[in-house]
Each structure stands twice: as structure tokens, then as C-alpha cells.
Amino acid sequence: MSSGIDATFGQIKQTLDAATRILVSSHLRPDADAYGSSIAMALHLKAEGKDVTLWNEEGLTQKFSYLPESNMVQAPPDHGKHDFDVFVALDTSTKERLGRVLEATGQVTTWINIDHHVSNHRYGDLNYIDDTAPATGQILYDYLVKAGGIITPAIADNLYAAISTDTGSFQYGKTSPHTFRLAADLVEKGVDVPELSRRMYDSYPRRRLELLKALLNSARFSCEDRVASFSLCMETAQNLAVRPEDNEGLIDHLRAVQGVQVAVFFEELPENKVRVSMRSKEPRFDVCKICGLFGGGGHAQAAGARLSGPLGAAEEKVLEAICHEVRNNN
């Protein structure tokens, strides 16, 4: 296809039905929505008799090994390029966020882009972007129902994990009656909620607690205490032997402070780069808009960006932009 379109589920199903070799992938620094959606899609396509490859730049991180059939996730090969009939990109707002997967991908007949980020660049030949959905896992559930796919217990667990985590355990604004109904259906299809929740939320390694201690010691408040931030330098990360997945969710400790309207996490990366994650309590404090100033994106209340360092200079630049947004909306 020469130009991308906003596709229907029917068009996506028709394309997948006609394909043999299918690559499924999601963004670098994957979360449970990225992994859960990808594994669920791969399991569905495998059941349909397709030759399915599931890659992520990170391979499978230890934290998400609790997801059923997670051993399907592989890191892309370091050498050679591989051709596919269809590339299904899930939960990935820009093509570049697929990372090293792109380097290992050769000829692709059709790109399918399924996502829920308002900042999605619609880079696919077929794009299904629903920014009203709280998680890509919810979109994929709707696709499977529409396509007549069988939601096995393994698929149900992966979709529930995707949706539960991306809604903040069904707390965030885009959590709808439909979200609760489909969650109930997934439970009926085999999800053991207490057991899965224990694996998602109560099985963190001790080094994550040590990381939280270090981050809280670096916490600072600005803009009349309405903005809270902390930062992680590479030296601290190396000393604590933390892994990238250990960072997930720690920003919520700042966001939960009374009076804080925007929370920010700065992480120093190699090659003089800084990763920025932002969360806000209300849609009127649009962190996607702020991240967009630095080439990033995401959702109104959860977004991120990467910019050039050094760490201290990046902090000041970003905090200034956030304070400008906060003051204009109070």
C-alpha cells in the first residue's frame, strides 16, 4: 500500500487473513500494555495458523515473565534483515519507538498500526487509533470479539494485565463502563484476579525499593509546590544495579502528594540523553502538549520525551515549560 488509511477492524482482519508471515512488536521500554497486547495478538494469530514472530527491542524483561506465553517474546537478531507479509505495531506512537526491531526488519508488504495514544503519527498502511481507549489491550479485545477470535485463558490474562496496568487499576479518566464490562468478561474467561494482581503488583525485587529511596532523596518541589520531580543519574542506577523496568510506576509516589498537579521523572541515559516521564492529575494540565515541545508525546495525563543533556540543564528547561503550563491553567 502506498499511503496509510484509518482502517476498520474488518480491513485489518482481511489483511491478516491473507498474510502468512507476520511480525508483532511494540515500543522500547515496554510496559504491560505493550507486552500483554503483543502476546495476546501473537497467540491469536498463531491459533489462526500464521507464522508469527514476536520481537521487542528489550526481548522479555524479567519483570513481565509472569505473563502467560511470555517466552514468545524475543529480542530482534543482531545481524541480517527478515521479510514479512505484515508488521503489526501495537501501543507504539511513532515508528522510531520500535527501536532495533526496525534494523532487523527487511521488506514488509503491509504495516498495521494499532494504538491508543493521541500523539500517534499514523505511520502504518492501516491505522486503527482510538485515543478514547485507556489501553491498547482494550482495542485488541474489541478486535478479537469483532474478528470472532477465541479468547483463551492465556490471552485473557495478557489483556487483563494490559488494561489493569494502563488504567492504574481502573482509576484513570478513560476507564469507561465498557472497560469494566470487558474486564468482567476476561475474568469469566479464566483470569484469576488475586493471583494475577499479586504477580503484577506484589512481586517487586528489593533493588526497586532501594531505587525508590534514592529517588525520594532527590525529590524537589517547584511552581509553588504544584510540580514535583525527582531524577536518576547513571551513577546511581549503576550503583544500585537497577534495570530499566524497575522505574515503572515510581513517579506515582510524587503524583499522589496532596497539592501536586504535575509529577516528573528525569532519567539520565548514555550519549548525553535524558528520558522524561510526566504525569498529571487532571486533563487541563496537558503533559502531552508539554512533551510535544521536546519531540515527545503520549496522553494528556501521561506522556514522555527524550532530550539532550546534561541532566541538570534538561531538568531546568522542562520544569520551566511545565510551570508555564500549570500557571496558565490555574
What is the reported pLDDT for 143? 98
- Return d(Cα 177, Cα 209) in angstroms, integer: 35
Rounded CA separation 167/79 (Å)? 38
Checking phi first, is residue 264 left (phi over 0); if not, alpha (psi -120 to 50) or beta?
Answer: beta
Q: What is the pairing mode between strands 273-280 and 302-308?
A: antiparallel
Is residue 1 over pLDDT 50? no
At residue 282, does pLDDT exceed 90? no
Residues 6+ apart with CB under 8 A from 313: none
Query: Using one digit for the tens of pLDDT, what is the confidence trace for 101-130?
Result: 999 999 999 999 999 998 899 999 999 999
Q: What is the mean pLDDT of the chain?
A: 95
Residue 169: name the closest of 254, 288, 252, 263 by CA.
Answer: 252
HSE-CB of 258 using CA atoms within 13 angstroms: 0
Q: 170 with 180: CB under 8 angstroms?
A: yes
- The confidence score (pLDDT) of residue 172 equals 86
pLDDT bracket for residue 300 (50, 70, 90): confident
pTM comes to 0.88
What value does the mean pLDDT take over residues 203-209? 92
Does residue 113 contact residue 122 with C-beta atoms inside 8 Å?
yes
Q: Does 5 have pLDDT greater than 90?
A: yes
pLDDT of res. 3: 62
* pLDDT class of 284 with cuts at 50, 70, 90: confident
Nearest to 127 by CA among 8, 43, 29: 8
What tens digit of pLDDT does each residue of 37-64 get?
A: 999 999 999 999 999 999 999 999 989 9
Mean pLDDT, residues 317-327 taken together = 93
Q: List, in order of start, the domains of the chain with CATH numbers.
A: 5-201 (3.90.1640.10), 206-328 (3.10.310.30)
- What gap in Å lies between CA 96 and CA 109, rounded to an integer? 19
In tens, the pLDDT along 223-277 reads 999 999 999 999 999 999 999 889 988 999 999 999 999 999 999 999 999 999 9
Q: How deeply is 259 buried, as exposed, middle or buried, from its count of CB atoms within 10 A (0-12, 13-18, 19+)?
A: exposed
